[in-house]
Structure 1
Amino acid sequence: MTEPNGGPAVWQGGTVWLTGLPSAGKTTLARGLAERLKAEGHRVQVLDGDEVRAALSAELGFSKEDRDTNVRRVGYVAALLAVHGVTVLVPVIAPYAVSRAAVRDLHAAQGVPCLEVHVATALETCADRDVKGLYARQAAGDLRGLTGVDDPYEAPVDPDLRIHTEDHTVEESIRHLRALLTARGLS
């Protein structure tokens, strides 16, 4: 790709933060969108919440303070990549509005966009999916502090996009995400 003046195109980097309950479909959508963007020739990185937590925040627990610290660390890495023209897809629960706002503020200070996507899936659907067995463990009494069950989840009030996964296929949801990126000048 080249610019009108014949020079190489400069990709506009940015972050797409996919927030929602456990098993809402955040990672599925992020990985699907990443495949599509890579096929189109874009620079893209998925910062999966579980993988990044294990690498950067393994010492943290799941208190409100620890969750906030983890989200801010992930947001910092996302902003670093975005500044360098990478489209960063971040499927991380990020249950607290204040933490998500801090990530957006960090991106704004760096001059890169940060879009918030609420993967809005009903708790019952998430529990039925139970990709990691968390809901079953919580029901059995083996897990406490499950976001949306016995720990709070503050759903975004005004996200850039809200995807109701019960109403759309994965491919339809990815098309909505791709349209958001186009509308906002990313990728």
Structure 2
Amino acid sequence: MLKDVKCRCTCAGATVWVTGRSPADRRAAAYAMAERLAAEGRRVQVLDRFDGSGARTERTGVTAEVLARNGIVAIVPCATAGAVTVRARHEASGTRYVEMSVTGKDAPQESAAMVKALLIGGVDHQP
């Protein structure tokens, strides 16, 4: 057990599942969010190296959930395939889950601002 209070995570983690039109838009939104959140001192990890197939989506969802339970904001830019399973697993474990859809030209920055507001307010957003 850690005895040094400075080593303990005091912020709430979450999984941010980013969906949208193209992989490039999703990645842009994910990294914009990560940059904003990291600038405010949050621990952030972008998980963007998977193809969205069933087993990989589940593994990525489990990885994101574990990170989130340990105080890290795990951002996953991916297609909507598999999101239902990932969302259900997060709900069952009581882990915060935010699902964002990137749709417009300014969506990466708008999505980053929205996720920041959701995380600070402690509100979960699900479609």
TM-score (normalised: structure 1):
0.55
What root-mean-square deviation, in Å, do the aligned CA atoms of Structure 1 and Structure 2 show? 2.3
The residue that corresponds to 2:69 in the other structure is 83
CA contact (8 A) 2:12 2:71 kept: yes
Spell out the pairing of 1:6-21 with structure 2 (5 A cutoff). Answer: 10-21=10-21
In the superposition, the TM-score normalised over structure 2's length comes to 0.78
Residues 79-158 of structure 1 aligned to structure 2 (within 5 Å): 79-94=65-80, 96=81, 99-120=82-103
* C-alpha distance 52-170 of structure 1, shift in aligned 2 (>3 A): closer
- SS in structure 2 of the partner of residue 80 of structure 1: helix
Structure 2 counterparts to residues 19-38 of structure 1, below 5 A: 19-23=19-23, 25-38=25-38
Aligned pairs, how many? 117
Question: Residue 11 of structure 1 contacts residue 85 of structure 1 at CA under 8 Å; is this kept in 2?
Answer: yes
Q: Which amino acid aligns with 2:63?
A: V
| Structure 1 residue 16: Cα displacement | 0.6
* Cα deviation, residue 73, structure 1: 1.2
Where does structure 1 lack aligned partners over 5 or more consecutive residues?
1-7, 54-65, 121-164
Relative contact order (alpha carbons < 8 A, sep ≥ 6): 1 or 2 greater?
Answer: 2
Shift in Å, 1:80: 1.0
Secondary structure of 2:53's aligned partner: helix
Q: Using the alignment, how far apart are the partners of 2:109 and 2:22 within structure 1?
A: 20
CA shift for structure 1 position 169 = 5.9
Shift, 1:36, TM fit: 1.2
Deviation digits for residues 120-151 of structure 1 (CA, Å, limit 9, x no counterpart): 2xxxxxxxxxxxxxxxxxxxxxxxxxxxxxxx
Q: Percent of counterpart pairs with the same letter?
A: 35
Larger Rg: 1
Q: Could you tell me which runs of 5 or more consecutive residues in structure 2 were left unpaired when the two chains were aligned.
A: 1-7
Q: 2:17 touches 2:100 (CA, 8 Å); kept in 1?
A: yes
Question: What is the Cα deviation at residue 22 of structure 1?
Answer: 2.2
Change (3 A) 1:109 1:41: same
